[in-house]
Structure 1
Amino acid sequence: MESAVGRKAREPFALEHANVASGDADGQVVRDMTVVVGAEGRIEGMAPSGQVSVPRGYHRIDATGKVVAPGLINAHTHLFADGKPLAVGAGGPRKQQAVMALIHGPIGKAYLAARAQASAKALLNSGVTTIRTLGDAGYEVVALRDRIDSDQTLGPRILASGPMLSIPGGHGDPYIALTSSSPEEARLNARTNLEHGVNALKVAATGGVTDARELGVAGSPQMDEESMAAVCEEAHEAGVIVAAHAQSTEGVRAALRAGVDTIEHGSRMDDEIIDLFRHNPRSLRGFSGLNPTLSAGLPLVKVSQEELGVSDIVRANSEQVVKGMLEGASQAREAGIAEGVGTDTGMTLVTQYNTWRELDLLVRFAGYTPAQAFHAATQVNARNLGVDDVTGSIALGKDADLLVLDGDPAQDLSVLAAPKLVIARGWPVWRPRIKRIGSVERLLSEF
């Protein structure tokens, strides 16, 4: 990742004669505009090109025929893997002990730090300027976030969760979770993460697919409502939002009642759940959002078991929860719920560079228009994550999180697959490079 050390200030610049995509749900584009970015990395001017006087000393970039759009936001990432098929299943006690010893030893920590930095670079080069991690092995992403924030290295804005919060033997345990058996213990685990500097938290309301050993575990209730409420209270007091892994109607309901701010994956909804998404009195901001993560679910049911190397149990669990995820995603769109975009990067066939594919899946499987999907990945995500005051749209005073594209994403989402220029908080990534994984791309092309 390119180092920012030694640069006294960002170079101010202007993108001239660009067509600006707003990121609004109606896909509005304003033509022949100039966007001026100051040395602090914020947007300090935007007007028709004929009406703008670019200050002397600003680098002028001719964007004629290009579209300038807000940077993408990916609200559900893991930085410990690249998206190649994972070896699913929890493994036996000896295997778990060996893996845990490696992860928390000096070699493992160094690897995880390097892997996190490489993953963040891949996300940024693909046009993602803000991410939230939701389940880290330790606090390696917190450290990376701090280096980015202090301009020691270039990367996306990061909301880092640290380990997720689960129950003994539950989803994520033991590799990427702290576990608890009571509301008091859950509160202490939340406090531990907060003391380590996280600015996001995640609870496991239900079981998951990747570490399920029996049919029906995925979606089965795990952390109880009282424990999740204790986590939310602790987090909200610190101004930190809470996500919940939830893959059943029962799990989603309990998590929303507890006050979580976003539901990850989701399931079929009833009227009570829809109302709680819209008006959630225990959430930090009075509503809750949904990230259906279709990128993580659909490959597990659309690609052959032989190609994925998964068991009959994993396939059956996947089919059960993915059906609910699809139903929930469509219901959310129809009900006007704040449905954002998160891909679950690092999971099987979910690369760090394919965020745009989640938008395409929302169009193909949840009834979205391209403009609505792009809106979800920018403005909706920014609001759901509580960063809409600084990013998610192109407006005066906001950070310059921008993409320069060959076309309008509100008309053709595929233009997001290869941005010509990525700008993160005013730092440009010239000629962003995306190293694709051929075997994964081949499998994704099958559906």
Structure 2
Amino acid sequence: MAIRKRTTTVEPFALEHTNIVTGDEDGRTLTDMTIVIDEGGRISQVMPSAQIGVPQGYHRIDASEKFVAPGLINMHVHLFADGKPINPKQATPKGQALLSALTRTPVGRSYIRRKAVSGIDTLLNSGVTTIRTVGDVGYVAVGLRDKIAAGKMLGPRIFASGPMLASPGGHGAPLVALECEDEESARTNVEKNIDHGVNAIKIAATGGITDSQVLGEAGSPQMDVESMRTICDAAHACGLLVAAHAQSPEGVKNALTAGVDTIEHGSALDDELIALFHENPNSLHGYSSLIPTLSAGMSINAFPRDVSGITEIQYENSKPVSEGMLAAARQAHMNGIRVGVGTDTGMTFVTQYATWRELYLLAHYAGFTAAEALHAATQVNAQILDIGDETGSIEVGKAADLLVLDADPTQDLRTLTSPKLVVAAGRPVWRPKVKRFDDIDTMLDERL
């Protein structure tokens, strides 16, 4: 393939004589196909190469012997960190309060913005063309989303949540969460996020591993059902999906009862929870989905504390939580629940460039085939976000969100680690390249 200069301008082009990986559950591949991308960044033709006529003036790229797949969608992203081990001192109440104060200074705001821009660029270069942030420091991601949409910056399509909504002293507070003391403050905080332009909402329904200070805190219910219902009603009235951090059966039940649309992480499921996922009358579309984030749970639990740097309490809390996340992924897959792909980027050992690893973990530990894992990261994620008419598959009229690969990912998921070309809404990244942490990658490859 010819290498061209990176630009935010959309120039019409065609990928010729390539193999199309459809992203369907059955792993279907179409051979010797040509894809034409118009000046609006949309797919205008998808046909066998022998039957197609590329319009005059279009750049023609020979992609023979390559495989073109839909761009990946990552449903659980944090842009404030890069995946290196998090200092446990920063996760204490005092540490989070100090960091929260720092982020409100000019230096702090500049740092957070640089980290977010770096994370967005890394995600894009690794093949991710749509992201949903679920717990931000302020509203930086909202501004970057708008800049990308306006064609002023290369990046993935962004669903930005702004700060999470948590109970007083709850998970993520005060660094990446607004605290809700009651239903009234919950309503006020969700309206504050909406006023700042967010197009996603995140609730901390239970405690989490990273900032847990006592045994059993991770997964312990925190926000009450009534406050979560208030948040869901306000968000749904504006057409916004609500995600909930939930890491225990009770926490998952509370969140689903309140009407959340996606459960982040999850726990072992019983018949009642399975039924609530399938038919949730309080959710936006009448059902809820699971985003297991195995990358976060399995990675932090796979290493001794002297490697991960977490405290003994966090390590002990991580064991039942990661086991519950894996159980949820398996049970959801077996019971036909919509399972999407999100990695929890920025958490310890969850780098911004390793969305592929979540697919690998689903395929090796949760009963998915490689084709089903790719399907979850493309078509299913697009359906959950209600953008299936815009992206998630390679079809005429949809945005040109594409990956050009050396091999068929349904046969070898590791080919996703090095895309040869990434296209986001018709804008090509001709030389996709990321800064890797070889020590982290090597450890994960050996353990998982």
Q: TM-score, normalised by structure 1?
A: 0.97
Whether 1:264 aligns to 2:264 is yes
Partner SS, residue 339 of structure 1: coil
Match of 1:54 in 2: 54
What CA distance in whole angstroms lies between the structure 2 residues aligned with 1:89 and 1:436?
A: 25
Q: Provide Cα deviations, 1:31-70, integer angstroms capped at 9, x if missing partner.
A: 1110010000000101000000000000001010001110
Tell me if the contact between 2:256 and 2:277 (Cα under 8 Å) persists in the aligned partners: yes
Distance 1:73 1:91 in 2: 28
Deviations 1:192-232 (A, max 9, x none): 00000000000011000000000000000001111111111
Distance in 2 (CA, whole Å) between partners of 1:361 and 1:105 is 39
Letter aligned with residue 344 of structure 1: D
What is the aligned partner in structure 1 of residue 337 from structure 2? 337
The separation in 2 between residues aligned to 1:197 and 1:355, in whole angstroms, is 26
Residue 188 of structure 1 pairs with residue 188 of structure 2: yes
Q: Deviations over 1:371-415 (max 9, x none)?
A: 000000000111111111100011110000000001111111011
Most deviating of 304-313 and 333-342: 304-313
Task: Return the alpha-carbon distance in structure 2 between the equivalents of residues 208 and 298 of structure 1.
Answer: 14
Letter in 2 for 1:142: V
Going from structure 1 to structure 2, the CA distance change for 1:434 and 1:95 (only over 3 Å counts) comes to: closer
Alpha-carbon distance in 1 for matches of 2:92, 2:441: 32
- Give the aligned partner of residue 245 of structure 1: 245
* Equivalences for residues 38-437 of structure 1 within 5 A: 38-88=38-88, 95-437=95-437
Shift of 1:92: 5.8
Cα distance in structure 2, aligned partners of 1:97 and 1:48: 58
In structure 1, give the amino acid aligned to 2:36: V
> Which whole-Å deviations, capped at 9, do the CAs of 1:309-362 have from their partners, x for residues lacking one?
122111110001111111111000000100010000000000000000000001
Q: Is the 8 A contact 1:3 1:153 kept in 2?
A: no
Equivalent position amino acid for 1:281 in 2: P
Q: Which runs of 5+ in 1 are unaligned?
A: none
| Distance across 1 between alignment mates of 2:188 and 2:206 | 20
Q: Is the 8 A contact 1:277 1:289 kept in 2?
A: yes
C-alpha contact (below 8 Å) 2:6/2:428 kept by paired residues? no
Deviations 1:85-114 (A, max 9, x none): 001256666544432221111111111111
Identify if the C-alpha distance between structure 1 residues 271 and 144 changes in structure 2 by more than 3 Å, giving closer, same or farther.
same
TM-score, normalised to structure 2's length?
A: 0.97
How far apart are the structure 1 equivalents of 2:186 and 2:93? 24
Q: Residues 204, 95 of structure 1: CA spacing in aligned structure 2 closer, same or farther, 3 A cutoff?
A: closer
Residue 310 and residue 93 in structure 1: after superposition, are their counterparts in 2 closer, same or farther (change >3 A)? closer
**What does residue 19 of structure 1 align with?**
19
Counterpart CA distance in 1 for 2:267 and 2:173 is 22
- Provide the secondary structure at the position in 2 that maps to 1:352: coil
Q: Which digits, 9 at most, give the CA deviation of each residue in 1:258-298, with x for residues without a partner?
A: 11010000001111111111111111111111010000011
Question: Structure 2: which 5+ residue stretches go unaligned?
Answer: none
SS in 2 for 1:423: strand
- Please identify, of 278-287 and 136-145, the stretch whose mean Cα deviation from structure 2 is larger: 278-287
Contact 1:89–1:212 (CA<8 Å) still a contact in 2? no
Q: Retained in 2: the 8 A contact 1:422–1:429?
A: yes
Amino acid at match of 1:408: D
Aligned-partner SS, 1:446: helix
Matches within 5 A, 1:25-44: 25-44=25-44
Deviates most, 301-310 or 340-349: 301-310
CA distance in 2, matches of 1:3, 1:431: 8
Change (3 A) 1:109 1:3: farther
Count of residue pairs the alignment pairs up? 443
Counterpart amino acid of residue 362 in structure 2: L
Q: Alignment partner of 2:313: what SS? A: helix
* Structural RMSD (CA): 1.2
Does the aligned pair in 2 maintain the 1:4–1:151 contact within 8 Å? no
Whether the aligned pair in 2 keeps the contact of 1:190 and 1:235 (CA below 8 Å) is: yes
Q: Distance in 2 between matches of 1:280 and 1:198?
A: 24
Task: Please give the alpha-carbon distance, in whole angstroms, between the structure 2 residues aligned to 1:156 and 1:302.
Answer: 30
Distance 2:381 2:233 in 1: 22
- Post-superposition offset of 1:159: 0.2
Whether the aligned pair in 2 keeps the contact of 1:204 and 1:244 (CA below 8 Å) is yes
Q: Separation in 1 of the partners of 2:390 and 2:170?
A: 36
1:76 partner letter: H
Contact conserved, 1:4 with 1:152, CA < 8 A, in 2?
A: no
> Within 1, Cα distance between the matches of 2:212 and 2:93?
15
Aligned identity (percent) is 57
Counterpart CA distance in 2 for 1:85 and 1:202 is 23
CA distance in 2, matches of 1:318, 1:89: 17
SS in 1 for 2:194: helix
Alpha-carbon distance between aligned partners in 2 of 1:71 and 1:206, rounded to the nearest angstrom: 32
Cα 1:286–1:408 change in 2 (3 A) is same
- Residues 414 and 3 (structure 1 numbering): CA distance in 2 closer, same or farther, change over 3 Å? closer
